[in-house]
A and B are shown apart, each in its own frame.
Chain A
């Protein structure tokens, strides 16, 4: 190419390039516009239609019972203490006045995880730990400890190898059985209605002396007798008693100065009674149709 031709050819080439670029840009803009128009057409929102429902779960009925009890006892100045589901033998048994060969070990079939470890059989195991760590110069010990416990039971309508307990413990100077009875009466009335009465029957637990079984007057028939209370007018709901001096001693608490009461209540049993559930396994087999009957508001 001659030097004279070069600027002319260059100018032409530039023009061709600019034309092509402009044409491509126009095509691109047209296409994008078309896409946008199509999109807008296809994504029209009809704000008058109902929205897609968002499925919400609900607190498990046992959780609801426990939450309710926690609220009640926190209102009476108790603290809520967590424990360990895998527990040492000494906290689950020995420090609760149940030495290795004690016949009371037969009362609870236990899952052992080796020699000294086990799945706790009772939330009372938390007692022994908090008794050891509590500083009584700072005031009385008032605690509840809800949680799961384990027994080597064959599951049936009234037994589950895993269920719930809520332990309650109060230790101070001058605690009497009247304090225990008043506390349990308050709980019974909170859960089962303001006109409930309670009665205490002698019983036995290794870590309390004396020990009692606690009955509430039947909430269904008011005490006249019906199928719920097996025609006795009373329903057994929990066990309790005055803390055994040996339990205090093994936690290093001076039993000549301090004393207290303890109780253990089963949220599963409360739920079964309150809602007329006749099979404890219903709580653990995750049937949403069953669980949704206990749906809470909001």
Chain B
């Protein structure tokens, strides 16, 4: 379990830094073999705003972007990503920056045009493919919030956070969620966790008006709970949520999938969201697969 130090310290008072905490927890309950930070070895990576964009005269795919990086003058940067566009808030590695694989960024010319920095994909600044959102897989990452140009992008992306690798043994399923980890760490230092639990806002209409559930064998599913959420707009999650997920090793997808993963990380309880319009006859049936039954998952994979 990847435990974000930033998130943990919101849930419980931790009197020591990440490394000391890792050592203490290893000696008292759960082995923490490593503490990692994504910003290690990286520098001069800021938030930029693309003010204008034009085609590169000597290239069929590159663009010349005028980027506000919080300085007096706009910065000209050549970018080859297919998804680059004016108005975007993006990640910029300034000249002198160090990005992933210890690569150094220098002012230079690309096919005769000055490029004073680099607009980056998450992978280029140290995110693994397994957590970088697929939506931006073929291009640069676009921030979906208006952030002041020149701001430290590593802070915005949660890269300064220390991630503790909690090596959970089969007897410690209680620590497969942040609340459980907060109790564990709290017990270690004699501090009670404080959870900011939000009240449920309910319009009073029973779920039964929308959906029925039938469970074939109550031994398999002693409890099966549903709630209906209406007025949903599927879109990218806010940055704070994406940050939480990728620092926990989970790839953000959209606000619906992300919130179920977030709840799982928080409570340790896996859950799933269904598209109400696609639940055919309004009944969710819980049963075991029949022999040889094929199943197609929502990602389109078929398995037995």
Contacts and interface: CB of A to CB of B under 8 A. Distances in A.
**Would you call the interface of chain B mostly helix, strand, loop, or mixed?**
loop
Contacts of A104: 170
Nearest to B173: A103
A204 B172 contact: yes
A63 interface: no
B31 A102 contact: no
Contacts of B31: 201, 203, 213
A104 B169 CA distance: 8
Given A203-B31, A213-B31, A106 B170 contact: yes
A107 B28 contact: no
A252 interface: no
Contact of B171 (A199, A204, A213): A204
Interface in B166-191: 169-172
B102 interface: no
Contact of A201 (B26, B171, B172): B26
A215 to B, nearest CB: 10
A201 B27 CA distance: 5
B29 interface: yes
Interface in A82-133: 102-104, 106-107
A106 B170 CA distance: 9
Contacts of B169: 203-204
A106 B168 CA distance: 13
B27 to A, nearest CB: 6
Nearest to B167: A203
B188 to A, nearest CB: 11
Given A201-B31, A213-B31, A107 B26 contact: no
A150 to B, nearest CB: 21
A182 interface: no
Contacts of B171: 204
Contacts of B170: 102-104, 106-107, 204, 206
A206 B28 CA distance: 19
A202 interface: yes
A104 B170 CA distance: 6
B166 to A, nearest CB: 13
Interface in A210-232: 213
Contacts of A199: 27
Nearest to A232: B23
Interface string B25-49: 0111111000000000000000000
B81 to A, nearest CB: 37
Nearest to B169: A204
Nearest to A106: B170
Contacts of B28: 202
Contacts of A206: 170
A279 to B, nearest CB: 21
Contacts of B30: 202
Interface in B235-258: none
Interface string A179-206: 0000000000000000000010111101
B182 to A, nearest CB: 18
Nearest to B172: A204
Interface in A136-182: none
A199 B26 CA distance: 12
Nearest to A102: B170
A201 B169 CA distance: 13
Interface of A: 102-104, 106-107, 199, 201-204, 206, 213
Given A199-B27, A201-B26, A204-B172, 11 more contacts: A102-B170, A107-B170, A201-B27, A201-B31, A202-B27, A202-B28, A202-B30, A204-B169, A204-B171, A206-B170, A213-B31
Interface of B: 26-31, 169-172
Closest 3 CB pairs of A and B: A204-B169, A103-B170, A204-B171
14 contacts: A102-B170, A103-B170, A106-B170, A107-B170, A199-B27, A201-B26, A201-B31, A202-B27, A202-B29, A202-B30, A203-B31, A204-B172, A206-B170, A213-B31
